[in-house]
Structure formats: structure tokens, C-alpha cells
Amino acid sequence: MAFGPIMQFEVGNLTVQLAPFTRDETQAFIAGLQRESVTRFLEIGPQTIESEHAWFDKVQSDPSSVTWGIWVIEDGERKLIGNSAIHHLERAHIHQGTTGSAITEQQYWGRGIASAAHKARTWYGFEKLGLHRLRSAVIQGNIGSRTALERSGYELVYVERNHRFAGGKLRHMDNLECLNPAEWAWSQWWNGERPTAAAKRARVRTQVTLDWARANVTLL
């Protein structure tokens, strides 16, 4: 599957697109991925153009993932500032995938881009891929990423203690999930069991996310 189709939406005064990118365009990630302030909470260290090219080649040939670049259009210029993806797509009894993203241009942090991109990706995963569940994980201390995921309907499932050393100390990893709120998927997931109160609250947030995406995301 490799790359997903172009999805466009507005965030403040910015036009944002989730869209494919080329091997050469991975150069845009390098400056950010060589800063400790960017990679501190990621599962990778500093990168080079060679390692980014190797990563691109792997992504392009992976049939179990859907990847997008995060592009902003500002003052007439289209700029690649990060990436977002649904990896490890499984289509057994339950259809699910694992999500991840990074914005490597720090000037675009805290502007709502990540939250909006998560919402668009969630909508695509549930309504275009027919998934029951999306999973993600965040190193504790990465408050911005955790908040952005929660806003699109993710809820904490469990904590993996002492996952990695980052920012001068051992840190736990929060593992979260987002469940498709559609009745067919919701009932199949719970399979006769009673949903938790937290899951019910998350379902409301996810439904709000999908409503926002239906109204604001354009597939080009």
C-alpha cells in the first residue's frame, strides 16, 4: 500500500496536506532529525540522508503500512515538515494498525497541526480502511504528542515501565488505543463484554474527531 492519498484541511492560517513524498524529499527531515530536542522522545536517533533513503525504500515496499508526508502551504510555499503513518496493518478477525508521526520542523510545534493530522488519519483508518482499532505509544514526558492523540480519541490501555532512557532518566511508555465508534466495529471489538467507562468517554471523542474530519478533510 505504501502511500496514502492526499488529504487536505485547514489549521489556522495554514493549509495542511497529508500527501506522498519522494525519496529525494526526505532531505527535508534531516535537519530536524539531527537535533536532540526533536529525537529525544522518538524511537530513533540522529539520522543522515543515507538512513532516510533506506527508511524510504523500506516504507515504499511495505504492503502493510500507509504513510503520508505532513505538508504545510504558507505564503504560497508548500513545505514538508514531518510524516504520519499507519503501520503493521492486520486483517485477521480484527482489523487494526499501529500509528506514528513526527513533525521535524519545531517552528510548527504547538500550532494544532499534529492534532488535526491525527484526526484526518483516524478518519481514513476507520472509514476508508475499515479498521476496528488504532494503536499508538508515547514516551512519558512527550506531553504534546500524548495530548494530540487523546484529542482524536485515543485512551490509555497500559504502561510499559522503564522503556527507554531519555532526557536524563528512565522513562515509561504509555500505550494507547483508539476504537472505531461505528456500531458494527464497536460491537465486534467488545464481543458481548461491557465497555469500560474510559472507553465510552473515548468513543465520544473519537466520534467528534470523525465528525470534524467529514466536515473539514478533503480527499484530493
Report pLDDT digits (tens) over 32-81: 999 988 888 888 888 999 999 999 999 999 999 999 999 999 988 999 99
Q: Over pLDDT 90: what percentage of the chain?
A: 90
In the chain, the N- to C-terminal Cα span, in Å, equals: 18
Sorted by where each starts, the structural domains of the chain and their CATH numbers stand as 2-219 (3.40.630.30)
pTM: 0.95
Q: What is the pLDDT of residue 46?
A: 87
Greater pLDDT, 176 or 75: 176
Q: What is the pLDDT of residue 1?
A: 65
Q: Which of 142, 176, 173 lies closest to 157 in space, CA to CA?
A: 176
For strand 77-91 and strand 133-139, is the pairing parallel, antiparallel, or unpaired? unpaired
Contact at 8 Å (CB) between 207 and 180? Answer: no
Q: What is the pLDDT of residue 42?
A: 86
Q: What is the mean pLDDT of residues 155-169?
A: 92
Distances (CA, A) of 173 to 39, 132, 176: 15, 23, 10
6-41 tens-digit pLDDT: 999 999 999 999 999 999 999 999 999 999 888 888
Q: What is the mean pLDDT of residues 130-140?
A: 97
- Average pLDDT of the residues of the chain: 95
- Confidence band of 205 (pLDDT split at 50, 70, 90): very high
Whether residue 199 is predicted with pLDDT greater than 80 in this model: the reply is: yes
Q: What is the mean pLDDT of residues 210-216?
A: 98
Q: Go through the chain and tell me how many residues it has.
A: 220
Whether residue 165 is predicted with pLDDT greater than 90 in this model: the reply is: no
Q: What is the mean pLDDT of residues 123-147?
A: 96
Q: What is the pLDDT of residue 108?
A: 96
Q: What are residue 150's DSSP bridge partners?
A: none
Contact at 8 Å (CB) between 42 and 141? Answer: no
d(CA 153, CA 158): 16
Q: What is the mean pLDDT of residues 178-207?
A: 97
Whether residue 213 is predicted with pLDDT greater than 70 in this model: the reply is: yes
